[in-house]
Amino acid sequence: MSRLRQALRQVLGSRRALGISAALALLVVAALVDVPGRLAAVAPSDPAPSASPSPSPISTGTADRGRLSNLTNADNQQLDQCPPGSTTLARCGTAPPLGPGAWLNTPGGTPVSLDDLRGSVVLVDFFSSSCINCRRASRYLNEWQQTYGDAGLRIVGVHSAEFAFEKDDRQLARTLDQLAVTFPVLQDQSFATLTDYRAQVLPSTYLVDATGTVRAISIGEGGAVGTEELIRRLLVEGDPAVDLPDRVGGLDDGEDPGADTTPQINLGASDGRRVDGESDTVIGDDTRFRLPPSQPEGTFSFGGLWTVGSESSSPRNSAVARVSYRGRSAYQLVAGDGTLVVTTSDGLTRQIVVDGPPQLLQLHVSDLFARETLTVRYEGELQVYAFSFG
């Protein structure tokens, strides 16, 4: 189950007081099965792979997959009138206000209000700074801002942290600089805005017209061309005399993923996509793993001694991880000081130096979109969070 959806439940728990009987039941269960240590898993994560697409905080690259959450209230029920990925504009109620949190890319951190943007077409983008799909989608947002800004388009980002380290405003600011993102971004620390918009897949975008009404919703990556057409229609609707520039269209830079690209694989204990070996043994706080004979596509496995945490895992004594995926490129979200030694299925090896806070490093890239299996040996003091693919 998605860490993001689990975080949403945590948010709801803070909004709707649990009944006394439910609280007592929770205490009893915790005492019996030692749940307290597991409650740390209430944070964003990926679902286990399945044969059919399902909502995930990391998009599979198709814009019309997924759905809105069922966490409705009087202000967001009408969002159901906007089928995600539809190429037709609808009227889906007034856009919920942007909630509390720090603002980046505004003068002095001044909050942005949708009421102040009435008269403009607004694109509200929900994203995570470590999500490779969100990073790729930011290319289109930057282009649209530059192309349609003078015609009346405003873009507002809502950052919904998938990992705890992303809640650091300085870390987020560094990522926005790397991605050349200059539009206002809300650090949605409590997931209040994400909850109000019923978003559960990252990235997700909401188009709001000049009157403040939500007109279209796009879930996941891959629907940029269709979203641009809707932007253009709303700009004309708001000002029939507007002089629209040429379309941005698809970016011919080779960065867009294939439709069957493997979704992100998180390496914490709650991921559910690890293929265990035959002789896992617990040694203190660590576990010794053995790589299985084969690696199914879309899964990973550990070899050697690992400390497995809720969000990340730490390799010990030259431990290894193996991952099988489909795509052109593979990335590792990793932090610490050390070296990654990456070996492909063809036996090619390269070394990658890691130095500092969590960063997304490219492990391998190929001209072909195909299945690949990588083995990574870890030297040094490292924390590994996820494998991502493109």
Lowest-pLDDT choice from 48-57, 195-204, 205-214, 230-239: 48-57
Enumerate domains of the chain plus CATH numbers: 1-256 (3.40.30.10), 265-389 (2.60.120.260)
Say whether pLDDT at 72 is over 70.
yes
At residue 252, the pLDDT reads 87
Per residue in 267-323, pLDDT (tens digit) is 987 666 888 766 678 887 899 999 999 999 999 999 999 999 999 999 998 999 999
Say whether pLDDT at 48 is over 70.
no
Residues 358-370: what's their mean pLDDT? 95
At residue 259, the pLDDT reads 86
Say whether pLDDT at 9 is over 50.
no
Lowest-pLDDT choice from 21-25, 102-106, 310-314, 325-329: 21-25
At residue 285, the pLDDT reads 84
* pTM confidence score: 0.81
Say whether pLDDT at 55 is over 60.
no
Per residue in 77-122, pLDDT (tens digit) is 999 999 999 999 999 999 999 999 999 999 999 999 999 999 999 9
At residue 4, the pLDDT reads 45
Lowest-pLDDT choice from 239-243, 244-248, 255-259, 293-297: 255-259
> When comparing pLDDT for 220 and 62, which is higher?
220
Residues 342-355: what's their mean pLDDT? 97
Residues 170-179: what's their mean pLDDT? 96
CA distances (Å), origin 250, targets 142, 143, 229, 375: 13, 11, 12, 34
Say whether pLDDT at 168 is over 70.
yes
At residue 271, the pLDDT reads 63
Can you read off the two tokens belonging to residue 30?
């915790």
Mean pLDDT, the chain, rounded, equals: 85
> When comparing pLDDT for 27 and 326, which is higher?
326
Say whether pLDDT at 36 is over 50.
no
Say whether pLDDT at 329 is over 70.
yes
> When comparing pLDDT for 97 and 43, which is higher?
97
At residue 17, the pLDDT reads 36
At residue 279, the pLDDT reads 62
Provide, rounded to the nearest whole percent, the portion of the chain with pLDDT above 70. Answer: 82
